[in-house]
Amino acid sequence: MELTKKMKSDKDKVLALTTIADLSLKAGDKETARAACKKAFGLVSWIKDLKEKTTACCDFALLQAKAGDSEGSKKSLDWAVSMVEKMDDAKSSSYHYALAAECQEKAGFHESAAATFARAVDMAKLQAGGSDKATSLVSVVAAQARAGLFTEAAATLEEIKIDRIKASAYRAIAEEQAGRGMFDKAVANAGAASKNLKEKAWAFFHIAGEQMEAGKKADALDSLKKAAAAAVAAASPMSAKKEAFFLLDVARSQAEAGDEDAAERTYEQALDAAERITNSWERADALCRLARVAVEAGYPEDAEAPLGKAIEAAGLTEEDRHDEKTTNLINIARVQAMLGDADATKKTCKAALAEAKNIRYASIRNVSISSISLMLAKAKLYEEAEKVIKENASTQWDWGYWYIASSAVKFGDLQVAVDAAGKMSPCDIKADALKDIALAYAKKGEADTARKLFAEALETARRIDDEKEKPDTVSEVIEAWLGADSTAEPGKIYESLKDEPPPVKCRFCIGVAKALKR
């Protein structure tokens, strides 16, 4: 906690202290949590942006309440409300009053919450535009629902006069009720969102997920059926592409629930929606996604039809749209690699590379070329992937080798991964690659090799130039290292960071805390 004093930004200090408080609470250390929140409160006034001040204050105020500091929590929330009073637009005021009120209710300050929610509603009503007013009221309804105030949320909902926006409020209440196991009420509110079928579909989809978690498989399947029906009926409000993707998610959930017949029917509806997409590039993209899902679900034979139609759609893309054609071909190569068809993947990647070279903008061209190397690596064509990087992707060199290393780790080709990481320049993605390779060796039981690679990953992270990226990368490496190596000594590792600036040391401590908590 002392290291936060040396951080330059007050906002970063408050965020770090809030994180420390949260981690301390999870570890059962209420005293440290209270101390961290007290320090955060002393600094939050120095944050310049009113919205950021209010949000930050609400965040640690809830932690204060959980840590048993009721007086401190009330003081923080009262101060947050006073900051909202200074905001000069009704939309922001309404949203942040609702945020503060939600926290007040969760912290046990019920009377204060009621008064603050009333102010949120009043500010929402002050907005001139009907849709702006309705949208702000939806935010208030959602906050009341998250706070468990369903009666109050229902009352606020009645203030919304635009039915299609009102449906969003019904969805917000339904999803929160489902999360609390109030399934009958959740289903009723989801059904009431009939004036906006897209919202209705998403509400039932969310309810289904909660029902599955609660072991109510039959009810979940019924909700998924209603979600699919709403999506299909939505027609105009839900575009063909969005409809296809949503139905794909429903089919995946139905399969997970064990109803393969329903999943197959919904998958066919998704395929039908994808085929109705008029733009050939978007149609190919959707069909490729359908093919990928079929392979991932263990039905590679079902991938053949959408993959074939994707190839056909890709061929219809206008000749001069090289970026779109490249994207389509990369997506097709991804499915072919998943199917284990290395020859087809290589052929498609060759065509993609020919298109990519004609992309006008260098940044898009280089990203596309590095993505082609990824598809080749996914097909275990490591040499071909490296050749693409060396000859074409100069500005994406590190990403290209990261793709090779990442794919090689998944296939268990760890020496290939080590070689690829060795060709990267010191940066955050090299540290990430080394960390993942080290984890793979640790899982194999090769502790010495893993320890050496973790040390190299940490040293690479220390050499990162970006001051914002460096602390997070150090923390991620440390968390992974300590989680995989029971013999690692945090004290010795910390000593190696003695010359690093305070933000790096602070993130190191957070990484240690996360690893120890696990």
> pLDDT band for position 235 (50/70/90)?
low
Matching fold, domains 239-313 and 318-421: yes
Cα angle 122, 128, 129 (rounded to 5 degrees) comes to: 115
- Report pLDDT for 54: 95
- For residue 107, pLDDT over 80 is answered with yes
Please give the residue that has the higher pLDDT: either 192 or 319.
192
> pLDDT band for position 513 (50/70/90)?
low
- For residue 3, pLDDT over 60 is answered with no
- Report pLDDT for 377: 96
Q: What is the pLDDT of residues 437-488, one digit of tens each?
A: 999 999 999 999 999 999 999 889 888 887 778 888 888 888 888 888 877 7
CA distance 49 to 56: 11
How far apart, in Å, are the Cα atoms of 49 and each of 11, 136, 442, 455?
A: 10, 21, 45, 40
- For residue 157, pLDDT over 50 is answered with yes
Q: What is the pLDDT of residues 257-309, one digit of tens each?
A: 999 999 999 999 999 999 989 888 889 999 999 999 999 888 888 898 999 99
Q: Are 433 and 406 in contact (CB under 8 A)?
A: yes
> pLDDT band for position 2 (50/70/90)?
low
- What is the residue type of 87? M
The pLDDT of 204-213, averaged and rounded, is 96
Q: Are 347 and 305 in contact (CB under 8 A)?
A: no
CA distance 29 to 479: 20
- Report pLDDT for 482: 83
The pLDDT of 501-511, averaged and rounded, is 66
Cα angle 191, 192, 197 (rounded to 5 degrees) comes to: 70
- What is the residue type of 276? R
- For residue 1, pLDDT over 80 is answered with no
**Which of 48-62, 65-79, 230-244 shows the lowest mean pLDDT across its residues?**
230-244
* Beta carbons within 10 angstroms of residue 327's beta carbon: 23
Listed by start position, the domains of the chain span 239-313, 318-421, 425-518
* Beta carbons within 10 angstroms of residue 1's beta carbon: 15
Residues 6+ positions from 88 with CB-CB distance below 8 Å: none
- What is the residue type of 456? E
Per DSSP, the residues of 328-368 read HHHHHHHHHHHTT-HHHHHHHHHHHHHHHTT-SSHHHHHHH
**Which of 125-129, 355-359, 406-410, 429-433 shows the lowest mean pLDDT across its residues?**
125-129
- For residue 206, pLDDT over 60 is answered with yes
The pLDDT of 413-436, averaged and rounded, is 92
**Which of 64-68, 257-261, 288-292, 504-508 shows the lowest mean pLDDT across its residues?**
504-508
How far apart, in Å, are the Cα atoms of 4 and each of 21, 406, 441, 457?
A: 13, 34, 35, 25
- Report pLDDT for 398: 86
Question: Would you give the DSSP letter of residue 146?
Answer: H
Please give the mean pLDDT across all residues of the chain.
Answer: 89
Q: Are 368 and 323 in contact (CB under 8 A)?
A: yes
CA distance 296 to 335: 10
- For residue 227, pLDDT over 90 is answered with yes
Q: Are 353 and 369 in contact (CB under 8 A)?
A: yes
How far apart, in Å, are the Cα atoms of 516 and each of 157, 291, 436, 459, 513?
A: 45, 41, 19, 22, 5
- Prediction pTM value: 0.78
Q: Are 160 and 134 in contact (CB under 8 A)?
A: yes
- Give the CB-side neighbour count of residue 327, counting CA atoms within 13 A: 16
- For residue 237, pLDDT over 50 is answered with no
- Report pLDDT for 401: 93
Please give the residue that has the higher pLDDT: either 497 or 202.
202
Q: What percent of the chain has pLDDT over 70?
A: 92
Q: Tell me the fold of 239-313.
A: 1.25.40
The pLDDT of 323-334, averaged and rounded, is 90
The pLDDT of 417-446, averaged and rounded, is 92
Q: Are 238 and 231 in contact (CB under 8 A)?
A: yes
Q: Tell me the fold of 318-421.
A: 1.25.40
- For residue 238, pLDDT over 60 is answered with no
> pLDDT band for position 219 (50/70/90)?
very high
Q: Which class for 483: exposed (0-12), middle (13-18), buried (19 or more C-beta within 10 A)? A: middle
- What is the residue type of 296? E
Q: In angstroms, what is the C-alpha Rg of the chain?
A: 27
Q: Where are the beta strands (DSSP E) in 25-147?
A: none
- Report pLDDT for 504: 65
* Beta carbons within 10 angstroms of residue 245's beta carbon: 20
